[in-house]
Chain A
Amino acid sequence: MVDADVEDTSVPVRKSSSKPAASTAKSAAAVQEAEDFASIYLRKVTAELGDDLDKVREAKDFKSSSLPMLIHALKQGGSMYSAEEKRRVVGAMGL
């Protein structure tokens, strides 16, 4: 009985100390994964649209300040993929 009491009181303490750490680690891993996916996506999309991107650079309205928007626009499409799909792509890369 005494043992059980001791056990009972110790459980919440352990839980509370370990839980936040675990969840932070998990979310950090998810962020890392999303970043990895974003870079894979950007690389692939840039490679696939290479010719057209060259043409855009020659367009009249293209300035050096347009570059960040161009990269942003290319990257943006990554949001079409679910977290699960991103994980699979990153997993397949063995990152």
Chain B
Amino acid sequence: MGKRTVFEANPKAAHTGRHAKRQKTDDSYEQETPAGASIEDEVTSARQLQNALVFDQGSASAFRSGLSLAKRFLDAILYATEEDALPRKRAILREYLDTQKEQGKAERDTTLLSQFTQAWDYAAETNFEPLLAQVTAVLALLLKVFATHAEFTPYGSLLCKTILQPNVARRLVRSLSAPTSKEQVILPALRLLIQITTFNEGAFARTVYARKDFTLEPKILARNIATWKDSQGQTALELQRKPSIRTTSVRYLLAHLKYQDERAKIDIVSNKDVVRAVLDHLTTDPPFLIAEIFSVFTDHVFLDKAIPRHVKSRMLNGRALTHIAGLYRYEAPEGSIGEGERTPDARAHDFLSLVCTSPAYGIMLPTQGFYPHTTDDDEGDAIMEDAEPLLRQDWSDQKPGPVRNLILADFLQSLRPYANILHQELVTKIFAACPELIANYFHQKQDFNYDPKLTSTWIGFSAFLYRTIEIDVPQFFGASKRYRAQPPPIAGLLQSILPQPLTQNVLVKCLNAQSDLISFFAVRVLVVAFYKLRAVLKEFENARAFVKTFEVKQAFKYAKLWETASERLITNFSQRCPPMKVVIKAFHQPAFQKGLKREAVTRLLRLYYEVTPRAALAEKFDVSVPLCNALTQAERLPESAEDKAFCVMELEHWIQMASHTPSMRWWQKNKSLQHSPFVMLLKLLASSAETELYAGIKVLLAAIVRDNEMLQKETSPDALDALIASLSSSCGTSVAVLDFIDECCSRFIKLPVKYFDDIDTLCQKTSPPISDAGPVSPLLMTLVEQWPFKGGKPEKGNPAEPLSQWLSKLLYLLKLIGEDEAVLKLLRDSLVETADKAYQDVLKDSFQWKMGKEKAKEALKLATGADFSGSERSTVSPAPVDKQEDPIKAPINLELPPVEDKKHVGLNRWRKKDIEEAVDDGDVGELILCLCSQHPEIRLQAASNTRQLMAVLDKDQGDLQQLYLLLGELLESAEPYTATPFPYIGGVFAARCVPIIADPTHFLFPKINAFLTSRPAWSISNLPRKFCRTILLAPPDEDGFYHKEVDWFLDYLIDALRTPADMEIFRTTNMFERVISYYSSKSCSIGAKEKIVRLLLRAASVEGATTLITRCGVVAWVRTMLEQRDYRGRALKVLVERLWAGCDKEKVGDWSSGSLDALMTRVGNVKV
């Protein structure tokens, strides 16, 4: 045991009188100057050093004085105050070192400072610890000095070599393993080793490692690292200046991790004791050391790809994570963290965020996102040939499988995401990386509950749930390369959208809570939940589209799986989230009457309509009243600009909701509103200077107008733009004008056909009649019709003056945007004609450029960016932009009937497969169609083969007994057709029924099944009529499937019409009349219209032209459609050409008394 040190005797003295930057080490033996030793203050020559540093066993104290001198000299170099003196000092040192080289037998045996090693040996052998410590310390200092200047590198290398000779290095282990109370012995040895390891960029690190028994004995290292001291009460400066054994040992370890190669690093970090020693006591470390540990661990271990995963995995376990997470509570001593430096908790957070979120770092095990874990990674991604087991799966019952990441699951439970932002961030990052943990986490945390309480924990919890829901949906739901054939279990997915604590009950309570904050937060959580559901459904849709492209026979079944899962998810979500009526109730609460809260609750209502429309529409919520209120509110300008922006957002939400509501009355006035919602919106748009703010509203308004065809959209800018510009605030808008528009709109909507006819009548009035009118807005006819009631008779004060001004302005603008000038003139004339004298002049001058029209034109220019230069005061309007002028027009398919397969492979192909497969692949259908062959022998063979198929089915007694019934009835029905082919109307029907009866979930299954069981044979000629009744004219079996059923029926008709015989059946059953009248009905979808046109084209290809012209009046019908600018104009024109080419001209001529030629020319002249 050494004497009491100077430092211990007088700690203050240790820090006084020295250079401030000097590292004050605790190796106090260095200070201990043996009595009588002469101290020279300054080294002025190498000789002086040489003399002072001669070791002699007899006079160790003299050597120690020399060491003190050397130390001061080296300190003077390291912490020089005078830069000028430095080169001289360095030269002295070099000169001295040159004298200390000792040549060995070979060049490589040269050693340096043999005096030191002798003293070291002596001290070790005689247990002379002060000398031992002092020599070690000066050597460490020397190396430190060598590292400062390149000219010392050779000396440094030589010294390292000398020390690392086994007979010298073995002395180190003794110092390192000294009792931990002997800091003064251990620390200099560690410092020396750090210097050697890091010297010259780790040039000797390998050799240090090779001598690991002396230098890096794991047990000793672990012991030293674990020797932590409570740093409480020490200032930041003290901690820096007087590093503890732990601090220095950790730095030594880090030096190795930094400079060793992978093999050595793996070996070092594989020692559990060492790593555990570092991580277990992290919370006792000063901030700078924590920073060094994480920096080296991250850069040199975890990010080092050469270190295998299992090694990293051994380093980190649950215990290690908990210790690291302990740093979240770390409170750094004052002044220990420099400005801009990251705090220990932030560093620990960065580290944990890295290692816990990727399988590469050992702690996290790879998972398959929302899919249950399978042992083989590829197994789940492979396309399964047999979807049957999947199809039978009951998704609602599927619970997420056992969690794979158990360590992380346990670790998560120890964090407090509701109280600490960093914890919250870490938890959500881990959730994002392992979605399997979301459900597990909340399942384990049963005591978490979201019952409304106005506390900071509730708020923190709410924020945590919000953030959890916000986590992005993983790509392919966690599958590795692409979407899998089957969707992930719904239960797990739902947990990520509405985590377990968010039950319907609790959410309802929150929405009804007294506290504004709680109800508002609940609304926000629900909004993000809807966003998440929308994102998930979009992914489902992508997946469905993707699996359809699989080249396996059951691709469509996989697609069906995704579709079903998507519906199931919506249903389950709707069961978990509060019913819409609760939100509506909250919406009426005083808390939600203004500001962000109002906007948020409206947003939520809108999401109900957009994401779960079925549930929203079932609620029968009258949107029109709040919409009107929002309109009134938007009109009254709120105080601040930002409030206004949120008000406009709210209005947009209402308009969106209204557009989702079929019963919305856009044109009806409401008690609380001056005008109808439509006109209010018009007014709002027209009077607002901030077009950008209302951009969303403009789009919605355009959509409403498009559906009603009241304003033409062919020109650019279109009639709606002109209407808005005519009402712009710069022109001044009177209430009378808005009232008038309101009235005209509501009249138009009630009977639009009347006004379409009025245009035709107007065009016919002129001589010659206008046959090819350009675009005109039909609403103008209503204006013309209603104008006489306003301005038709003289009245005092000319109250209709503003109206006449406006009409004049509107006509001017409509001409400007390119509506048909001739028609507009006729309209103006009608207006003038019916007007009172007082207004006639204004109306006459409609197309003149005066009376505020410049302002209206400017408004139009500003709103649309259109350029009308050159058209001012001109009578020629600019050519409208013809939007239909598509440079690449797809050719119209002439719908020629399919040709019969000459080889008739369908006769036998079904035999090569299982019955189910043959049904799915359409082989049974092909066999059935062979019954319609034009060759009698094929028909016979087909009938015989069908019987054989029935025999197989009979024997099988499987699920396909319905098919047996179908085939039986088919053969029965085909019986009478021996001399002539069985009509395709029957064959195609049977073939198309096959997949339906094989799939009980098919939307037509009930209807087809009912038909099959009604009678043993079919009346073929009645088939189309029968299904026209049960499909076109009857409600669907399942809600929402009407259009699908109609599509099926029309596809069947097109496919069945293949021969003149089929055409005859169509004629006798008046099928064309039926479908054409359906075409004009409101329930006919665009898809159905296209199919009807295709059916007519097909009829023209099977000798049906004459029938269509004479019996159905198709040419005149086409003309009407073209004049109404039917979207299918091109196909209709082609149809007429085909009919004309294919008809019996003589018969048609007689029928039309020769007028058809003129009609054909008129149809041909219509531009499409």
Which of A's residues lie within 8 Å of B, judged by CB? 40-41, 44-45, 48-49, 51-53, 55-56, 59-63, 65-66, 68-70, 72-73, 76-77, 79-80, 85, 88-89, 91-94
Taking a contact as CB atoms under 8 Å apart, the answer to whether B597 and A48 are in contact is yes
B residues 420-461 in Cβ contact with A at 8 Å:
420-421, 424, 454-457, 459-460
Q: Which of B194-202, B348-356, B513-521 contacts A (4 or more CB under 8 A)?
A: B513-521
Stretch at the interface among B638-646, B946-954, B989-997: B638-646
Besides A48-B597, A80-B603, 6 other A-B contacts (C-beta < 8 A): A44-B595, A73-B463, A80-B527, A80-B528, A89-B642, A93-B642
The interface residues of chain A lying within 8 Å CB-to-CB of B462 are 73
Interface residues of chain B, those whose CB is within 8 Å of chain A, are: 418-421, 424, 454-457, 459-460, 462-463, 466-467, 470, 515-518, 520-521, 524, 527-528, 531, 595-597, 600, 603, 641-642, 644-646, 648-649, 690, 692-693
Query: When A44-B595, A69-B420 are in contact, do A61 and B456 touch as well, CB less than 8 Å?
Result: yes
Which chain B positions have C-beta within 8 A of A85? 649
| A-B residue pairs, 6 tightest by C-beta | A73-B463, A52-B517, A66-B456, A92-B645, A92-B641, A59-B455
Total A-B residue contacts, Cβ distance less than 8 Å: 103
- Docked Cα-Cα span, A22 to B202, in Å, equals 44
The answer, among A45, A69, A79, for a CB contact under 8 Å with B460, is A69
Question: Hey, which chain A residues are within 8 Å of B690, CB to CB?
Answer: 92
Find chain B residues with CB under 8 A from A55 CB. 454, 515
CB pair B597 A76 closer than 8 Å: no
Assuming the A-B contacts A69-B421, A80-B527, are A52 and B454 also in contact, with contact meaning beta carbons closer than 8 angstroms in the complex?
yes
Chain B nearest CB from A61 CB (Å) reads 5
For B463, list chain A residues within 8 Å (CB).
69, 72-73, 76
Judging by beta carbons under 8 Å apart, are B454 and A93 in contact?
no
Which among B459, B470, B596, B642 is the interface contact of A73 at CB below 8 angstroms?
A: B459
- Whole-angstrom distance between the Cβ of A64 and the nearest chain B Cβ: 11
A70 to chain B, nearest CB (A): 6
Are B642's CB and A69's CB within 8 A?
A: no
Residues of A within 8 A of B600 (CB): 77, 80
Q: Assuming A48-B596, A66-B419, A76-B463, is B645 touching A59 (CB within 8 A)?
A: no
CA distance A51 to B520 in the complex (A): 13
Question: Could you tell me if A62 and B467 are in contact, using CB atoms closer than 8 angstroms?
Answer: no
- In the complex the two chains form, is B641's CB within 8 Å of A93's CB? yes
B648 closest partner in A (C-beta)? A88
> In the assembled complex, which residues on chain A have CB atoms less than 8 Å from the CB atom of B515?
52, 55
Q: Which of A66, A69, A70, A91 has the most CB of B within 10 A?
A: A69
B310 to chain A minimum Cβ distance, whole angstroms, is: 38
Closest beta carbon of chain A to B533's beta carbon, Å:
14
Q: Are B516 and A44 in contact (CB under 8 A)?
A: no
What's the least CB distance linking B369 to chain A, in Å?
23
Judge whether B595 and A56 touch: CB under 8 Å: no
What residue of chain B has the Cβ atom nearest to residue A60's Cβ?
Answer: B455
- Interfacial chain A residues near B520, Cβ < 8 Å: 48-49
User: How far is the CB of A3 from the nearest CB of chain B, in Å?
Assistant: 31
Q: Which residues of B contact A91 (CB under 8 A)?
A: 645, 692-693
Cα A76 to Cα B465 with chains together (Å): 11
In the bound complex, CA of A55 to CA of B518 (Å)? 12
**A66-B460, A89-B646, A92-B644 given as contacts; is B524 within 8 A of A77 (CB)?**
yes
CA distance A48 to B693 in the complex (A): 23
Partner of A79, one of B470, B517, B649: B470
CB neighbours of A51 from chain B (8 A)? 516
Residues of B within 8 A of A77 (CB): 466, 524, 596, 600
With CB as the reference atom, state the residue of chain A lying closest to B643: A44
Is there contact, CB below 8 Å, between B454 and A88?
no
- Are A79 and B528 in contact (CB-based, < 8 A)? yes
CB-contact partner of A68 in B421, B466, B595, B603, under 8 A:
B421
* Docked CA distance A50–B641 (Å): 21
8 A-B contact pairs sorted by A residue (CB < 8 Å)? A44-B595, A49-B520, A56-B517, A59-B455, A62-B455, A63-B456, A69-B459, A76-B524
Q: Which of B420, B455, B524, B603 contacts A56 (CB 8 A)?
A: B455
A6 to B424, CA, bound (A): 58
Cβ–Cβ contact B517 & A53, under 8 A: yes
Q: In the complex, how many angstroms separate the beta carbon of A8 from the nearest chain B beta carbon?
A: 28
Instruction: Kindly provide the distance from the CB of A88 to the nearest chain B CB, expressed in whole angstroms.
Output: 5
What's the minimum C-beta distance from B581 to chain A, rounded to whole angstroms?
Answer: 22
Find B596's partner among A45, A63, A94 (CB 8 Å cutoff).
A45
| Cα-based distance from A53 to B516 in the complex (angstroms) | 10
On whether the beta carbons of A44 and B596 are closer than 8 Å, the reply is yes
List chain A residues, Cβ under 8 A from B644.
92
**Given A80-B528, A88-B693, A89-B645, does the pair A61, B467 have CB atoms closer than 8 Å?**
no
Contacts of A53 in B (CB 8 A): 517
Q: Which B residues are in CB contact (< 8 Å) with A52?
A: 454, 515-518
CB distance from B326 to the nearest CB of A (A): 16
In the complex, what residue of chain B is closest to A69 when comparing beta carbons? B460
Docked complex Cα distance between A68 and B597 (Å): 22
Q: Are A73 and B595 in contact (CB under 8 A)?
A: no
Could you tell me if A41 and B419 are in contact, using CB atoms closer than 8 angstroms?
A: no
> In the complex, A79→B467 CA distance in Å?
10
Q: Give chain B nearest CB distance to A39 CB in angstroms.
A: 11
What B residues does A48 contact at CB under 8 A?
Answer: 516, 520, 595-597
* A contact residues around B516 at 8 Å (CB): 48-49, 51-52
Q: Determine if B603 and A73 form an interchain contact, defined as CB atoms under 8 angstroms apart.
A: no
| B114 to A: closest C-beta gap in Å | 61
Q: How far is the CA of A68 from the CA of B460 in the complex (A)?
A: 10
Q: Which of A49, A73, A92 has the most CB of B within 10 A?
A: A73
Judge whether A88 and B421 touch: CB under 8 Å.
no
Q: B524 near A80 (CB under 8 angstroms)?
A: yes
B955 to chain A, nearest CB (A): 62
Q: Which residues from A are CB-within-8-Å of B521?
A: 73
Closest residue of chain A to B456 (Cβ to Cβ) is: A66
Contacts of A88 in B (CB 8 A): 645, 648-649, 692-693
CA A52 to CA B649, docked complex, whole Å:
25
Evaluate contact between A76 and B456: CB separation under 8 angstroms.
no
- Most chain-B Cβ atoms within 10 A of its Cβ — which of A45, A70, A72, A80? A80
The answer to whether B454 and A44 have CB atoms under 8 Å apart is no
Interface pair A41/B596, CB less than 8 Å apart: yes
> Nearest CB to that of A49 among chain B residues?
B517
With A51-B516, A69-B419 as known contacts, state yes or no: A59 contacts B642, CB within 8 Å: no
Closest Cβ neighbor of A55 among chain B residues: B454
Q: A48-B595, A79-B528 are in contact. Are A94 and B455 (CB under 8 A)?
A: no
- Least distance between A87 CB and chain B CB atoms (Å): 9
Most buried by A among B466, B467, B646: B646
State the Cβ distance, A51 to closest chain B Cβ, in Å: 7
Q: Measured between C-beta atoms, what is the minimum distance from A42 to chain B in Å?
A: 11
Q: Are A73 and B460 interface neighbours, CB within 8 A?
A: yes
Q: Quick one: closest A residue to B423, CB to CB?
A: A69
A45: min CB distance to chain B, Å: 6
- CB nearest neighbor in A for B459: A73
Report the separation of the CA atoms of residues A44 and B600 in the bound assembly, to the nearest whole angstrom. 13
Nearest opposing residue in chain B for A85, CB measure: B649
The CA-CA distance from A56 to B457 in the complex, in Å, is 10
Q: How far is the CA of A92 from the CA of B528 in the complex (A)?
A: 25
Chain B nearest CB from A28 CB (Å) reads 21
CA distance in complex: A89, B690 (Å):
12
Q: Which residues on A sit within 8 Å (CB–CB) of B597?
A: 48
Q: Establish whether residues B693 and A92, one from each chain, have CB atoms under 8 Å apart when the complex forms.
A: yes
Q: Which one, B419, B457, B642, contacts A44 given CB within 8 A?
A: B642
Contacts of A89 in B (CB 8 A): 642, 645-646
Q: Chain B residue with minimal CB distance to A79?
A: B470
A76 CA to B524 CA, complexed, in Å: 9
| In the complex, chain B residues whose CB is within 8 Å of the CB of A92 | 641-642, 644-645, 690, 693
In the complex, A76→B466 CA distance in Å?
8
CB-nearest residue of chain A relative to B417? Answer: A69
Q: How far is the CB of B587 from chain A (nearest CB, A)?
A: 16
Kindly provide the distance from the CB of A86 to the nearest chain B CB, expressed in whole angstroms: 10
Q: How far is the CA of A48 from the CA of B600 in the complex (A)?
A: 13
Contacts of B419 in A (CB 8 A): 65-66, 69
